[in-house]
Chains A and B, each alone.
Chain A
Amino acid sequence: MNKNHRAPSSHSLGTVEVKSKFGAEFRRFSLDRSKPGRFDEFYGLLQHVHRIPNVELLVAYADVHGDLLPINNDDNYCKAISTASPLLRLFLQRKEEADYTMFGTDSMTRKKNTVLSAVLLRPDTNKKKPPVIISLPKDFRPVSSIIDVDILPETHRRVRLYKHGQEKPLGFYIRDGSSVRVTPQGLEKVPGIFISRLVPGGLAESTGLLAVNDEVLEVNGIEVAGKSLDQVTDMMIANSHNLIITVKPANQRNNVVRGGGGVGGGTTSGSSGRSSDSGASFYGYSSHGASASAASHIIQNFPVGELDSDEEEEDLVIEAGGEAEAIGHAPSSYSIASVPRYEPHLNLRTNPSSTYSIHTNGTLPGSSGSLNNTNADSATPSPDRAKERRSLEEEGTVITL
């Protein structure tokens, strides 16, 4: 503690004051704001200053709004350093006794000491659910959104499901059926496709945006009218990584009422409110958050890069040559997240740690959006990462398509 000198206030622009708390102990030190270094170095430093060299830590900091956010990679570390003004308050916990539920606690509306209370005073009785580790990038990402509210009839709902990895099933079934349409000739019965079942615990059910007997009208912008059940099934599976289905909900009471005032997400049904919120705030980073008008909310739902959803399904290419393996060296903290998905399948000769996939980067343009729009894990790739990507392509170890 004594080794860490306190920076003079005149240098406050160049340095960051750090106040780190582990258990009941505090440590203070400073870091160079322009050269924060890497996260693993920082992690080592923390272990060092707290003299807990072999303890697995969960590092969290309080951001400008008082939210408790995790630091576990270079990106959110840099973000934490760059946004600290001037003091960076760190909270360390042992990983095995970490309380994950405190993350993202929106403390803006609370008192100043919310963070502390969240860390220190949270009663154990509130921990009903087993902790979900949302701090890792693969767990920290959008799940669903309601989109295109302005261009769709109020009776329809366009839902986007983000399917990442294999761990959680999409979890719904569709069936044939018939629906009644109003035509100039009167009422007409036409064949249609309906959601027949939601799998408990599946992605579809967890969003609350889809329900049994909702009629499926479009899949990723293509009308399903005239298509057979098998065709629609194939279309949905082909788009499963980024499935956008337009439904006519069986329950029309929770429809978006346009012009009703304020945020689109706020006016949706209670059950879907949370998810639509996530959509709004996720893309809201460019226009001052969720308080934007409904129109801007829509536009943001299709960032240019995602018009062609292929960005999300980059095929993985591995060069399996002796020379290639030697050249490439990628930061290992990324590969951990992405490699286990491919490793059993590919059975590579190359060192798994070098098969860094930018896939992770591409699919998670803003992974923390649903909780805070100014989250450290920024939506645009940081310059550093872009540089890394370029160098990787040049070296030819891994190519993303």
Chain B
Amino acid sequence: MMKFRFRRQGTDPQRERIKQELFAFNKTVGHGFPHQPSALAFDPKLQLMAIGTKSGAIKIYGAPGVEFTGIHGDATAVTQIHFLPGQGRLLSLLDDNTIHLWELVAGPSREVGGHFVVRIFSLWEKIKLCLFVSFIHSRLPDDYRCGKSLGPVESLQEHPQQPGKILIGYSRGLVVLWDLGAGRVEQLFLGKQQLESLVWERSGNLFVSSHNDGGYSVWAVTSGNACSPQPVSSTIPYGPFPCKAINKILWRTSQSGSPVLLYSGGMPRASYGDRHCLTVQQDKEHVTLDFTSRVIDFFTVHSIKPEKEFDDPSALVVLLEEELVVIDLQTPGWPSLPTPYLAPLHSSAITCSCHIANVPPKLWERLINAGKAQRGRQQTHMSWPICGGKNLAPPPKQQELLLTGHEDGTVRFWDASGVALTPLYKLGTANVFHTDCDDPHDPGDDPDLQQEEEWPPFRKVGCFDPYSDDPRLGIQKMSLCKYSNKLMVAGTAGQVIVLGFNDERSDHSVDVSVVDLLQDREGFTWKGHSRLEPRLKPAPFPPGFQPLVLVQCLPPASVTAVALHTEWNLIAFGTSHGFGLFDYHRRNSVLARCTLHPNDSLAMEGPLSRVKSLKKSLRQSFRRIRKSRVSGKKRVITTPTSKVQEANAALAEQEEVAPVQRRIEPRSADDSLSGVVRCLCFADTFLRDGTHHGPTLWAGTNSGSVYAYALEVPGVGSGRACERGGASESSSCVEAVLGKEIQLMHRAPVVSICVLDGRGKPLPDPYEASQDLAIAPDMTNAHSVLIASEEQLKVFSLPKVSAKTKFKLTAHEGCRVRKVALVLFSSAAQEDYNEHTLVCLTNLGDMHLFNIPALRPQVRYDCIRKEDISGIASCVFSKNGQGFYLISPSEYERFSLSAKVLTEPLCSVQLDRPQMLPVVSDGEGQTLEPPSSLSSPILDTPLDSPLSCADLTLDSTGELTVEDVRDFLT
């Protein structure tokens, strides 16, 4: 049909070139902690750490800024990783019985992990092992043998001083020292307990075995003694009651005398069997590190130089299921060390996020100081122990902040300027309220108080704490003014807090106001949660953002939209019932407007409503799925609501079994939740006539209604306030007068409203124009307003609201707008050329870019999988063309739409490779190379590894089992 022909644009080569200089899509770097880590390895020579995950990703970290990522083609769990020390290569064993060899390769601009797949790598180990199992049997004393099999091999450890000897530990307890060169058993150790792990002492005179019963044994290796029936010593540290197994043990010698013993597990089964513990003990010092999630693996950073006599471990690195903990072993008391990367973003579930670009240096400095003050006690002088590689990325041109709001009512400030997302400062909002568990001290801040006096000497370590004390504290929306240092935070129970920055500790009470958004609506009863009880007495607030004003919406529904204008001292907030405008300077409520549709019972009754639509229950089950991704082992809180949800989920599942069909019905006015306020925006523009501009407030709802209010702010604007002149500033209040109401006929939810100036550019933020930080908006030509709904983008002229341009995205593409942002794209070629562009993320996970105000489509990129609902919901854009979205509850993927602004790892690692392998450099390090073509050169290469046995011939006749390969590598 003809009308669709108009959409197609002629390709103007000039324009195409400009587009290429402006737009480019790249996924640049991942921030946060890898989801479901499953393996850990450390290269002591290169000082690089590798983490493998259950989804088949391998991430390598060195010094802050040094990062490499690789993904196995098939998403299978990585069970083990082993570095070939110093070579920049590593082997990964996957759950599907494949071994992969990876290596760091020099790409054109950066180093990436290329990788090779060796499916049946080195078959010779198999033969060796087979040989000596029977051989060993014959050597065993009769009383030990008792007709038992030896069980699978649990551990293989190479002799630290003599490369040709390996220690083989069998599951049933037998340990064999095997001489590879001579092909014979040197010594047998007849352990009586199920073996869990083995570790050599540095000198090779001793080794330690850990056992299933929670004990460990020290064995002496003496030449000439062919069979040691008894260990030198055997201890069950947490006995005498039955204990859990010690999964892994490390024995590190130190100059100061006694060795440092580190082991995971071994807790008394009955009393502490459920804890995730790691014990560090040296002499009398004994600490049981108590973690909140499972210990995956751990290693120590210690001296490996052969000339040194002792290990002298400097740091302990523990990979937990949800975070990485590093303990400083040099400083007395073994304090934990803050990590410069791998920050557990999800220490409490992320509920919202917000990005602030180009943070003024002053605020930046104050934030850093506030953050330092918070961490005061935990401070150690030790530098980050994993320091491999060199970060070549230039220092960031500007400071960027990423704010994450969490379920427990905290807001975390992250340094997002570079590759490593580093925590800066943490703000808690719970202390504004009385909560059930009012604790004078934040337990996370004060490790000393955590030390329980009982045995074992537990010490809580780590910050992963997914359990929220009160779900109402959750942060829903945030807005920060970087010039006036005002922060607006809004939460689940309708609380809106305005905070100001203070470098000093302060004891004060917070002003509380209650705004009834229902106004005069009758016949509605809120059945949801009650509002939070504000703390009325003065409370101590640490340096940083300190609350000034608390506004509580009634009914206390979750806040769905906020806007902050610091120049006018106004905040606007919206819930599912309406929106309000509050003057936080004069502490008075200016406006409350109910947006409820009279028939909408759902919005009124809140989450406990019995009449629950399928839509809502589906939404809840999605939410639950998302939450369950945080921790598979999260405890189930049984409340009446959760039972209802279960029932609803069961219902929803039943319905999904039926053939999928979709009802075609336009939205009606009385759809549920039509009154939800989706967006709010302040603008200095022309609302009533074309000659006087002044402050305005815009609000958009779920049902396509837009309300525009003309505001009269004393002392602001050339509008009526000035004409009157007479009113004295101190007595006058802010006033709001309804100027216009727009009902979009397609009734789709309004996602965003933005006012464009006379040149078609978005209006600057508060203070930007008045402080000459941005080009002053064009107030001479007619303004326009861009209203983005889920289905259409439309630009209307102001003050007479008539449609100028539009783009019907849903009608054409069948996708719906989820997130919208106005972004300034700078050209990569021309220094001073930039364009304001509208970026739309749709429900299909793709990015559509439109120029403004013409709304002509520019480019489209696939970004997020459309099934990844939480990823799409979490997406946040920066003003310079970058963005973040959650790829797991704990990881942000950073992407860039701009050809110019990229934040990606740029680093180098000094390698010591015996022979250059054919270098395969692929752009992303994620492509799978055909295994057959690349496997042979690897086998031919004499690997400078202790496992190398180049003289052995290949024999593929034997049956290779996974266990064999795994055991050999251990």
Contact = CB atoms under 8 A, between A and B. Distances in A.
Interface of A: 148, 163, 166, 169-176, 196-197, 220-222, 224, 227-241, 243-244, 302, 307-310, 313-321, 341-342, 344-346, 348-349, 359, 396, 399, 401
Nearest to B745: A313
B627 interface: no
7 contacts: A176-B660, A237-B665, A237-B666, A310-B806, A316-B742, A319-B740, A401-B803
A175 B746 CA distance: 23
B270 interface: no
A401 B664 CA distance: 26
Contact of B811 (A171, A239, A344): A239
Contacts of A244: 1
Given A233-B662, A236-B664, A238-B808, 18 more contacts: A175-B660, A222-B4, A224-B814, A227-B814, A229-B660, A233-B663, A234-B810, A234-B816, A238-B748, A238-B791, A240-B666, A241-B666, A241-B745, A302-B1, A308-B3, A318-B741, A349-B738, A401-B796
Given A237-B665, A307-B3, A401-B801, A175 B738 contact: no
Nearest to B3: A307
Contacts of A349: 738
B806 A196 contact: no
B801 A235 contact: no
B372 interface: no
Contacts of A229: 660, 662
Interface of B: 1-4, 597-598, 659-669, 688, 703, 705, 737-746, 748, 791-792, 794, 796, 800-803, 806, 808, 810-816, 843-844
B745 A173 contact: no
Contacts of B801: 317, 399, 401
B797 to A, nearest CB: 10
A399 B844 CA distance: 35
A173 B663 contact: yes
B661 A307 contact: no
A221 B669 contact: no
Nearest to B667: A237
Contacts of B802: 399, 401
A344 B703 CA distance: 13
Contacts of A342: 743
A51 to B, nearest CB: 44
A240 to B, nearest CB: 4
Given A221-B4, A231-B815, A401-B802, A315 B664 contact: no
Nearest to B810: A238
A9 B115 CA distance: 103
Nearest to B6: A308
A264 to B, nearest CB: 18
A232 B814 contact: yes
A236 B844 CA distance: 17
Contacts of A310: 803, 806, 808
Q: Which of A238, A320, A359 has the most CB of B within 10 A?
A: A238
Contacts of B668: 166
B591 to A, nearest CB: 13
A43 to B, nearest CB: 32
Contact of B741 (A239, A309, A317): A317
Contact of A230 (B662, B739, B744): B662
Given A236-B664, A240-B665, A241-B745, A345 B659 contact: no
A174 B662 CA distance: 5
Contacts of B744: 315
A235 B810 contact: yes
Contacts of B815: 231, 234
Given A222-B4, A344-B598, A234 B664 contact: no
B814 A231 contact: yes
A221 B4 CA distance: 7
Contacts of A231: 813-815, 844
A315 B705 contact: no
Given A196-B661, A229-B662, A234-B810, A166 B669 contact: yes
A231 B812 CA distance: 10
Contact of B703 (A234, A236, A345): A345
Contact of A313 (B746, B796, B814): B746
Contacts of B663: 172-173, 233
A316 B666 contact: no
Nearest to A239: B811
B738 A320 contact: yes
Contact of A175 (B662, B703, B705, B844): B662
A373 B473 CA distance: 66
B842 to A, nearest CB: 10
A229 B659 CA distance: 12
A342 B743 CA distance: 9
B798 to A, nearest CB: 11
Contacts of B665: 169-171, 237, 240
Nearest to B593: A347
Given A196-B659, A221-B4, A344-B597, A317 B664 contact: no
Contacts of B662: 173-175, 229-230, 232-233
A307 B810 contact: no
B739 A319 contact: yes
Nearest to A349: B738
Contacts of B746: 238, 241, 313
Contact of A314 (B661, B745, B791, B813): B745
A278 to B, nearest CB: 21
A315 B3 contact: no
Nearest to A175: B661
A233 to B, nearest CB: 4
B800 A399 contact: yes
Name the residue in A236, A302, A359 with the highest tally of chain B Cβ atoms < 10 Å from its Cβ. A236
Contacts of A221: 1, 3-4
B806 to A, nearest CB: 7
A345 B597 contact: yes
Contacts of B812: 222, 235
B750 to A, nearest CB: 11
A315 B814 contact: no
A237 B663 CA distance: 9
B763 to A, nearest CB: 21
A174 B738 contact: no
Contact of B743 (A173, A316, A396): A316
Contacts of A235: 810-814
Contacts of A315: 742-745, 794, 803
A399 B669 CA distance: 21
Contacts of A230: 662, 814, 843
Q: Which 10 A-B pairs have the closest CB atoms?
A: A231-B814, A240-B666, A238-B810, A221-B1, A313-B745, A233-B662, A175-B661, A235-B814, A401-B803, A238-B811
A197 B808 CA distance: 27
Given A237-B666, A399-B800, A345 B661 contact: no
B664 A174 contact: yes
B666 A346 contact: no
Given A169-B665, A238-B810, A309-B3, A346 B705 contact: yes
B742 A317 contact: yes
Given A231-B813, A310-B806, A313-B746, A318 B660 contact: no
A158 to B, nearest CB: 9
A193 to B, nearest CB: 9
A231 B806 CA distance: 20
A365 to B, nearest CB: 17
A117 B812 CA distance: 52
Contacts of B791: 234, 238
Contacts of A196: 659, 661
A234 B814 contact: yes
A40 B969 CA distance: 97
B495 to A, nearest CB: 27
Contacts of A316: 742-743, 745
A169 B741 CA distance: 27
B325 to A, nearest CB: 43
Contacts of B669: 166, 341, 344-345
